[in-house]
Amino acid sequence: MKHISRSICSLLLLGSLSLAAQEKTIATAQDTVAPPVRSDRYGLRVGVDLHRLSRSFYDDGFRGIEVVGDYRLTKKWYAAAELGNVDYTVDEPQLNFTTKGNYIKLGFDYNTYENWLDMENMLYVGLRYGFTTFSQNLNSYKIYDSSGYFDEVTAYPDKEYSGLTAQWIEVVAGLKAEVFDNIFVGFSFRLNNLISDKKPEGFDNLYLPGFNRTYDGKFGVGFNYTVSYFIPLYKKQAAVKKAEK
């Protein structure tokens, strides 16, 4: 009977040691397994501003187009640019003028959004340097008649001022979301601060291509609504953090 008890105790002891060894082996194997990896795509995204494009159809005084693009530099940073052309007639109570010109904006975006696996959406902030070359055509203006016969008189000089330039800084906030494979829609809001502008003789630049309306001479706002296509060029492997249990 004693021999049987000793045998049972020995078997239990061996089983416990074997189970402990297996658990240690499994834990060691889990620690040595490499974390999963994913491929981040890098490339060029190009598109167009739908707001300016559609406005050309419903606003008789406006003709314009803006092409947008960005290039992924790192996981979070993107180089960005916008190119545009504007032909816009502004009709104020005292002034009617036409602005024509081209502009370019260059800068960067930083993506603050943490994407899930295989997602490429953006919630970003950025900065732009803007530059435009344009002309202003003074179509008409109203002046007060001091003779007393008329309250005001409208003059039609139809005078063009060409070779004008302006530059500014833009703070950008926006988002881009992938709605189909490689097709993104986005929206951005801009706050502009004018650095310098060459003014025509006799009146201020009330509208600048790319900058939009000027307020108090220096401040401006803008936005765009874009659709763009992503052209993948290469991939980079990025380690994915293991989820904590």
Q: How many CB atoms lie within 10 A of CB 92?
A: 10
pLDDT reported for residue 6: 52
Contact 109, 70 (CB under 8 A): yes
Q: How far apart are CA 89 and CA 136, in angstroms?
A: 10
Read off the pLDDT of residues 68-95 as tens digits, 9 standing for 90 and up.
999 999 999 999 999 999 999 998 888 8
End-to-end CA distance of the chain: 48
Cα–Cα distance, 184 to 165 (Å, whole number): 33
Sign of CA dihedral 213, 216, 217, 221: negative
| pLDDT value at 140 more than 90 | no
109, 122 Cβ separation under 8 angstroms: yes
Mean pLDDT of 111-134: 94
Q: Do 123 and 112 contact (CB within 8 A), yes or no?
A: yes
- The region of weakest confidence among 88-102, 132-146, 192-206, 216-230 is 132-146
Tokens of 120: 């490429």
* Residue 156 Cα distances to 97, 121, 141, 148, 211, angstroms: 10, 51, 7, 21, 27
Handedness of CA 119, 124, 129, 130 (dihedral sign): positive
pLDDT reported for residue 163: 94
CA distance 136 to 198: 11
The residue with greater pLDDT, 4 or 178, is 178
Q: Which band of pLDDT confidence, cut at 50, 70 and 90, is reported for residue 1?
A: low
